[in-house]
């Protein structure tokens, strides 16, 4: 029995389409004015485009004459066309160079009010923070509670009999409180105070004639004088021999000034003396 073996060979044939001297394929049966097929994406109606030259794609096909090779070519358009630009709108002389975005903008008045509100709010917050900081700083420099407690001292005047002295402590210093008799008041005011070392009348040193309030610190070197002693019946400093009269004025010894008068006031309702 005879057998047959088929042999397949691949042959590349040269193009059989003739070309013109200009390089365009010779295709007498090709209608270059034919309408292009409809776009597969449905963009626009079917028909030839006037702005882009058509491109024809070819390939190899089998005909009665054998294998025919088709090549791709671009044929010049048969009608005048204009290139498509970014915008296809009709040109206008009064068209603005920048697009109008007014529909997308917010109301400028409302933005201005919001800006004023934010600036005012930040200003108030900043002022409050600054005030708080300054207040905290000043409070840190203020006197402590124990110092403020000693700033003022109250004394019951009814507990001091006439003709007696009371010594209290105020701000770390002794304070002499003398309930003077009528004879002591007359003696203090009858003196020739203009000739004293530190001239000062008795009226200037007291708010009430019967009550004498002064610091118990010698004006020489800061010693504490002794009450109801000395040559003038007032106070005497044994350290260096300074003598003070019944009004606390320096009369003898090295003391250059009278005994100091602190700040005080009387509470008439409660009959108290408030020092400080």
Q: What is the pLDDT of residues 142-182, one digit of tens each?
A: 777 666 666 788 888 888 888 888 888 888 888 888 888 88
State the Cα–Cα distance between residues 268 and 50, nearest whole angstrom: 116
**Does the pLDDT at position 11 exceed 80?**
no
- Given the DSSP bridges, would you call strands 242-244 and 264-267 parallel, antiparallel or unpaired? unpaired
State the Cα–Cα distance between residues 201 and 195, nearest whole angstrom: 11
| % of residues, the chain, pLDDT over 90 | 6
Please give the positions annotated as active site.
240
Token pair of 93 as six digits? 């002389």
- Cβ contacts of residue 227 below 8 Å, gap of 6+? 165, 167, 176, 178, 234, 235
Q: In what side-by-side order are the strands of the sheet with 165-170?
A: 165-170, 173-179, 211-215
Calculate the CA 274 to chain-centre distance: 46
Token pair of 5 as six digits? 């073996």
What's the confidence (pLDDT) of residue 157?
84
**Does the pLDDT at position 130 exceed 90?**
yes
Angle value at C-alpha 167, between 166 and 173, nearest 5 degrees? 155
Write down all domains in the chain, each with its CATH number in brackets. Answer: 153-275 (2.102.10.10)
């Amino acid at each position: 029995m005879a057998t047959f073996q088929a042999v397949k060979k691949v042959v590349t044939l040269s193009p059989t389409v003739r070309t013109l001297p200009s390089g365009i394929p010779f295709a007498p049966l090709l209608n270059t004015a034919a309408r292009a097929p409809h776009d597969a994406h449905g963009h626009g109606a079917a028909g030839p485009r006037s702005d882009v030259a058509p491109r024809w794609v070819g390939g190899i096909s089998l005909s009665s004459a054998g294998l025919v090779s088709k090549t791709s070519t671009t044929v010049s358009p048969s009608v005048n066309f204009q290139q498509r630009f970014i915008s296809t709108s009709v040109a206008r002389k009064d068209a603005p160079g920048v697009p109008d975005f007014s529909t997308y903008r917010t109301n400028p008045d409302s933005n201005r009010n919001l800006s004023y509100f934010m600036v005012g709010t930040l200003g108030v917050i900043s002022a409050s923070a600054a005030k708080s900081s300054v207040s905290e700083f000043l409070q840190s420099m203020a006197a402590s509670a124990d110092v403020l407690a000693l700033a003022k001292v109250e004394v019951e005047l009814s507990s001091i009999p006439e003709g007696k002295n009371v010594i209290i402590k105020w701000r770390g210093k002794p304070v002499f409180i003398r309930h003077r008799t009528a004879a002591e008041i007359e003696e203090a005011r009858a003196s020739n105070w203009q000739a004293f070392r530190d001239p000062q009348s008795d009226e200037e040193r007291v708010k009430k004639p019967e009550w004498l309030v002064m610091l118990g610190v010698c004006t020489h070197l800061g010693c504490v004088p002794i009450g109801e002693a000395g040559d003038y019946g007032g106070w005497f400093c044994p350290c260096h021999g300074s003598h003070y009269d019944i009004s606390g004025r320096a009369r003898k010894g090295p003391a250059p000034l009278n005994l100091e008068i602190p700040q005080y006031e009387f509470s008439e309702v409660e009959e108290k003396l408030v020092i400080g």
